[in-house]
Amino acid sequence: MSSPQSYRPQVANDLTGRVALVTGGGTGIGLMIAQGLAAAGAKVYITGRRVEVLEKVAAAWDRQIGGEILLLQMDVTNKTSIAVAKKIIEEKEGKLHILVNNAGQAGPTSPFLNNLSAPENKDAESLGTALFNNETFEGWADLYAINSASIFFVSTAFLGLLAKGSEDVAGYWSSIINITSISGQIKVAQEHFCYNSAKAAASHLTKMLSTEIALKNIPVRVNAISPGVYASEMTVDVVTEDMVDKIGKGVRPVPAKRAGTGQEMAGTAVYLASRAGGYVHGQEIVIDGGYLTVNPSTV
């Protein structure tokens, strides 16, 4: 039986002593999560290709808030780069408790798709030809590499270290958190077929990883966060109320009438990584201000 003290949010969400790695942690949603994990007490390694971006974030973090933010250059689409980063974490920490697969890009778009007066939408032949000519196999492959395949390769590379982290406290397992998107669950293309289908793949990959890892009796939990409209490099730095629905490109407006906040994003990640979310396995938590509630989706 847990003590009354253990139910206090300060205890249930405390990440002191936990080691985390956040891919794409230098900007946008990744930065929100990295700062939230650090504020909860974790030592957080943020990764990305651009060292100068990571350096700026790490230098700006106030350790008086809590935790640490450290930089680690890694290209999530390159196996050699992933292996080098894994070796660094292994040598410095010997284990890992939290892996956030956040790195992603927007990819190929068809901006004429929602403009019914555009010549590309004149008839079936015009639409089909425009979509066919506007995008490439290479563009799709590149986006799937970072938005979907990277989750598989980064997760498998660090799986042993995550299992090692689960040995620290009985019943307190390490956690993989994949950042998917409502774009993978909405049934309209939002002008980017590739991005939406890649995010749908990431959602299903989350479930498969969770199941296969559990069936092998490996003590690592796998879950996902599916954000709606948030400020990021894929949208804009600041999302005002009048921009929310332009970015979301849904059939109906977002009920919350605003973008999500860093506090909401970070809080969800901290929940999944902490003791508070320790009984959550194979789930995808949607935080979208009601977007999927009023738009055609698969959930």
Instruction: Give the active site residues.
Output: 181, 195, 199
Cα separation, 196 vs 185, in Å, equals 8
Cα separation, 200 vs 9, in Å, equals 33
